[in-house]
Structure 1
């Protein structure tokens, strides 16, 4: 994987503040920011703060961040986006009193899958998404533990997409996420 400079990306929606602390990027989310389309909630939100740059096809992207947040629906991770109706966001979202590892896949309408990871609270998380053919394979780990498979999801083949770190704060002001690394490289060679 090759490290990307924070300056390589462009924001889909600017956050309320962006600062650097050494090599880390500190991002303050706007209250009410989110990414979702229709399903179950009946609304469309397309104002998550995603710092995106073109992603090779096939290709992979990794984002490392601190899961140091604890308010309902606070979230951070990475996003792959082709357009406003075609995107994947994946990472750690605080929901129902616990950090949840999950993904939202949006192909016109959003879906959401999560699994509780209370032991990840306050720790360094790396999320990796690998795009190849008509699929994205999502893996994640905490600290230096092995990657675990999160999801294999559909994503249109041969459609230009961008990827990079994202965060949002649907229910509160003051969320600050520390992003530690952004890297891209070749797609994973196997699902297992």
Structure 2
């Protein structure tokens, strides 16, 4: 049985890192990346631990094994992961429903990943439902960015409740879609 919870231990964080490693572009074929999706950012235990102390990530476990996760990141970490700096800078210039996001109370979904053996079984929905329950009374919005070549992830995020907010090209010429979910609507 799959259980959803906040990441609470170093073992949970190491489970996230292991799943992240298995799903990064260097670990999978280009064909698998195109059809199944992939993770863009690789974290280390230090940054993941600091992020988790401020806002625990959401995990899905089958027995003691982390089989899915959705990272939680506050804007306090906007300069700690270089590849995400352009996203935060872009978000700061955007508005949603006539509200400047620079002034809005939001959390960033730093990344979501599900073990291959568990894909297509509703785990993404379970992760984001648990995420919403954990944080909806604290944050108005959840925002994330998805590399446009990861269409599986783009479609999954729109299906679960996110809306397209903005597209941009990062300084490294990567195309990104920024999506947002209004937890108060």
TM-score, normalisation: structure 1: 0.27
Higher strand share: 1
| Larger RCO (CA within 8 A; separation ≥ 6) | 1
More helix by share: 2
